Structure 1
């Protein structure tokens, strides 16, 4: 079976497995963040030449002042179709899901794209 044939419910299981693999500190942070899976990004969510695998929307953990009362919750979104598209085999999917999740957790911790790339979480 090619990776793009992984059905949504099986992909959701891979995301749950990736969440279980996070280090304790990251897992504590993620317990306060909604983690969702969408098929693809919304139109206009990514630049035309950008393949968007995931996003973090919220207030980074390092931000001074924290959450404003009444504001929307923090959300990590993983995009199933683009993640599967970059994988050449089924075996590549679980580590890619973990890498994308880790990358977005890094943003939740306040790390920049440059910092995440230097740590290998791109």
Structure 2
């Protein structure tokens, strides 16, 4: 059974999860904003069982050049409904938010999926 929370409560859970992130992961963050969307809308080519917790949209730090100065912030987008569907309680939502934030921040840092999993962050 899904564990539903209000939008305000979900933002609070995301804030709690963010505070649990290791400092070495947060220090290099540059020009990133975190957004919450109610739900993920499947793309036509995606499998109907796709469960996306979030994604990173931007240019990884490892790929940036001097032409990146003045650009809009990168984005990490979190999908509230996925967390509610997959988690049984508040602690589960905070735990999954932390895992997702680590994963998406790792993409911001330029780490590949393979490296993220090697580090135990995926």
- The runs of at least 4 aligned residues of structure 1 exceeding 4 Å deviation read none
Alignment of 1:48-63 (within 5 A): 48=47, 49-63=49-63
Structure 1 range deviating more: 107-116 or 62-71: 62-71
Match of 2:31 in 1: 32
Match of 1:112 in 2: 112
Q: 2:33·2:76 contact (CA, 8 Å) conserved in 1?
A: yes
Match of 1:76 in 2: 76
Cα RMSD, aligned residues only = 2.4
Task: Using structure 2 for the length normalisation, give the TM-score.
Answer: 0.82
- Give the Cα separation in 2 of the matches to 1:113 and 1:72: 24
Runs of 5+ in structure 2 lacking a partner? none
| 1:64 Cα deviation from its structure 2 partner | 4.5
Change (3 A) 1:21 1:91: closer
Task: Using structure 1 for the length normalisation, give the TM-score.
Answer: 0.82
Which structure would you say has the larger RCO, counting Cα contacts within 8 Å and 6 or more residues apart? Answer: 2
2:62 alignment partner, SS class? coil
Q: 1:4·1:81 contact (CA, 8 Å) conserved in 2?
A: no
Q: 1:60·1:110 contact (CA, 8 Å) conserved in 2?
A: yes
Q: Paired residues, what number?
A: 121
Change (3 A) 1:67 1:76: farther
Q: 1:19·1:27 contact (CA, 8 Å) conserved in 2?
A: no
